[in-house]
Every structure is written in structure tokens, then in C-alpha cells.
Structure 1
């Protein structure tokens, strides 16, 4: 159980960190996000309507990551698919904002990629056997 916790804890914390993207776009506070535009247009920032849509997607990805981490902890069968969907959304949300996210979000993107790779390759079975 301790191994499961050591794997789930950083994943759940990564999910909670997604709140910063939501709050930065909806509250007007920076939450570590510099006031920079996204990759496609200099007029689109986190506080614009497009930024707010992405803020909602950050919230959805974060909830899914936290949910999949809890599902992993309690041994539910559905956690891998939720983890993959959530990691995918997380990556899709962060990439257009690459210049505007705090450096910790870059590490989160690497974490998302790692989860997607581990859960899609034959490594998944070895990983699950290791932490069971």
C-alpha cells in the first residue's frame, strides 16, 4: 500500500496544481502565471474568453487526475483510462500556453507524457505488478 501511495501522491498533487490554471484565468490573480499571450495570438491571454475556456479545461483535467489517483489508491479498474484521458487533456491545455505557464507546469507536462507512455505500452502490466 505504501508503494501505491508513493506513486499516487505526486499524481494527485499534479492534479491539484491544475487549480492554478483555472484560478489564473477566472480570478484575475496571477497564481504564478506571467501575463503573456498564448502561442497563436498576442491578443489572447488567460483573462480573455479563450483563456477562460482553457481554465475550465485545466479544472476538468485536474479533477480527472485527482480522481484517477484516488481510483489507483483504492484499486478501481477504471483509473488507467481516466488517467490517460486526463493526462491527454492536461497536455492539450498546456501546450498552447507554453510561454505563459510557470516552470512547474513544464514538469507536469513531462509527468503527463510519462503516464501516457507507461499506461499505453506493455510497461503497464509490469508497472501495475510492481506497485500492487
Structure 2
């Protein structure tokens, strides 16, 4: 149905609140990278307008650190849109600090807790091959 695919991968050893937090941030990364996926505002029966939602599904997967790193490298090879979330970002309080701790990471060995991937469906499928959907 869609030519593109959105996959969010979250590390499987995180606390529930951390998983939810990471998924929420990764979803914003997808919509920021592809604002065209946003639909129109919702309007209720009384005419009140609400916010927009993405018009494409975002599938949530889980993986170990190694699985996330593997998906990251495959996504880089295929030049897909990637939005990372590293563990050090849990200790920051604002966006600038998040970018600073990300920049300080070993780029060849990111300590990922989450990764959003967007791109052509077949390419994304190759990157997430073998990962399990989050329960």
C-alpha cells in the first residue's frame, strides 16, 4: 500500500518508561524527516480542531544493542533516513545537550537505545530483517 516504510527499533533491555520515551522521540524524528506523511487536522462533530497524525504506519521492533548497531550500519549502507537515540541522552535535559552527547559518541560503535528508519519499503525490510515486533 505504501512505497515507504517507517520502523522504530527500541532496545529490549530498557525499562518500560524508557522504551515509551524513546519510541515517542523516534516518532517525532520520522515526522520531522518526512512531514509529508502528516494528515490533516482531526475535527470532531462540534467542529473543534485537533492535531494531525501521521498517515502512514510506524512499526515498532525490539532488539539488543548488537541488533540496533547492525540495523544502524545496514541503514547507513542503504542511505536511509536514520534517527538515533543513544543511552547518554537519558541524562540530558534539553535538545542541545542531546546533540552534544550524541556528537561525543564513538560513531563506529554508538550506544544505541533506539533507532528510527525511513525509506523505500524493500530497503527498510532488509535492514530490519530478523527483528521481532515489540510486544
| TM category, shorter | under 0.3
Which one has a larger percent strand, Structure 1 or Structure 2? 2
Q: TM-score, normalised by structure 1?
A: 0.27
Higher relative contact order structure (alpha carbons within 8 Å, sequence separation ≥ 6): 2
Q: TM-score, normalised by structure 2?
A: 0.27
Which one has a larger percent helix, Structure 1 or Structure 2? 1
